[in-house]
Each structure stands twice: as C-alpha cells, then as structure tokens.
Amino acid sequence: MKVDNKVFVVTGGGSGMGQQLVVQLLERGGAVAAADIRQAGLDETRALAGANAARLSTHIADISDRAAIKKLQEEVLAHHGHVDGLFNNAGIIQPFKKVSELDDDAIERVMNINFYGTLYMTRAFLPHLLTRPEAHIVNTSSMGGFLPVPGQAIYGASKAAVKLLTEALYAELLDTPVRVTVVFPGAVATQITKHSGVDIPASGDEASSMKTLSAADAAEKIIDGMEDDDYHVLVGSDAFMMDKLSRLMPERAVKIIQKRMKALLDH
C-alpha cells in the first residue's frame, strides 16, 4: 500500500524510529496520528515535520492501558475521519539482568507495553481497517524476537510474541483488504535505553558500542517494506546476518550473542 493520501497511526511517535516514521510518512504524502507517552517528544516531532505538520495530529497515550487505547482510537477517527495504516512501533527494553534477578514489576511492564500494547492497538483499529479499500498493519518485533539475548530474556519473549501474533494475523487476513508486516530491527541508534529507564553498566561499553543503523535509515526501510507489502522486514546488516545464522546454526548464533553480552551481565 502506497503512503500518499493515506492516514496512519504511529505509536512511539515522539522519538527514535517512531519519530522518523512519522516524519517520513508525512514527507511521502500521508497524514499521521502520532501517539506517545511524552508530550515533549511529540512537540519535537511536530517541529521536525515542518510544513507537513498540517497533516499531523499528536496524542498522549499509554498503550499498556486499554482505556487509553480506546480514547486514542476515538480521538484519531474524530480528527482524521478514517485510518488506513497502523504502525505498532512503541516498545521498551528491560534492565540488563538475568531472569532470576528481575522483579515482577519490570517483567509485567515490558510485556504490557511490548506485547499487550501491540495486541490491544491492533484489536482497537482492526475492525475499522477492515472497512477500508486497502489497509496495512506494521508491527515492530526485534532481532531479539528470533535470537535469544542474555540479559534481555523478557524483552525477547515479548518481541517473539509480537512476531508470532503478527504472522498469525498475516495468515488470518490474507483474504481481506488488510496486509500485515512484521519488522525485525537490529541495532538502531535510538534512545530506547533512556526511555525504558535502563542504565547500561560501564562494563558493557563493548556491547553498547556496536555499529548501529540510524533511525532515519531504519524508518525508510520499514516504510519501503510496507509499500512493497513485505511479510518480513529485516532492518540492519546485523539483523540480516543473525537471521541467517540463527536458522542455519542456531546454537552457534546464541553463543556469539552470549559472548558479546557477557560483560553486561557480569557487572
């Protein structure tokens, strides 16, 4: 589905990939409802949109709250009249700790935002999307959704759940006007660590200094994938490499990641 003259909802639209998705969808001629939990981030997105901001609406919303999602859906439809596409992009990581060291609140927060937020947003907007001549759902999983990362086990579990949910949606919606894409970003330069309230230990400098793709380049690849109706979109050379390696030599792939992340867990 082409972007021009379509209306999109983007969660996490106040920073990182979400912010760039909003800006680039507007540049390609779309209208956007950007949702985020931070007003300051949405204000920054509006400033970056420049003259295209006339086609932008911004909405404060906590996607882990079903009542907030219902309110968001009502606000978006009241403002734009209809919606043609949904980018479930918002997400957080967990503290860099082993499963045995995590508290229940940290576990539930990651699952509520990453998985349930994606699920509830999809359920809120899907009935409307099914009425459109064509529509698209784009859900952001992660390289960690197909490759286990020690110290991010719950994050990975949430993103693996997004992967399987999205692939099932793809199958369920094949005979409808709604297409579905799942995105697997590798290392992308965003502020997800800061916005997740997570500190990277000093001993993790090597792991945290790996080469990253810019948020703008990542957003461009994601939108291109949506316009091409791609089933999977791998974002970044590391995602491509580890996707192939994890399928051909899964145990070796895990050991490579474990070695890379060991410093973060041994602090």
**CB 240 within 8 Å of CB 213:** no
Q: Which one of 120, 155, 170, 231 is the catalytic residue?
A: 155
| Secondary structure, 3-state, 88-138 | ECCCCCCCCCCHHHCCHHHHHHHHHHHHHHHHHHHHHHHHHHCCCCCEEEE
**CB 13 within 8 Å of CB 7:** no
**CB 211 within 8 Å of CB 234:** no
231 is catalytic: no
Provide the Cα torsion 138, 140, 143, 147; round to 10°.
Answer: -100
Please compute Rg for the chain using Cα positions: 18
Give me the residue label for tokens 């420049």: 50
DSSP-derived 3-state class of residue 209 = coil
Cα–Cα separations (whole angstroms), residue 145 to 77, 239, 254: 32, 11, 13
Helix H or strand E encompassing 34? strand 31-36
Helix H or strand E encompassing 40? helix 39-49
Residues that are catalytic: 155
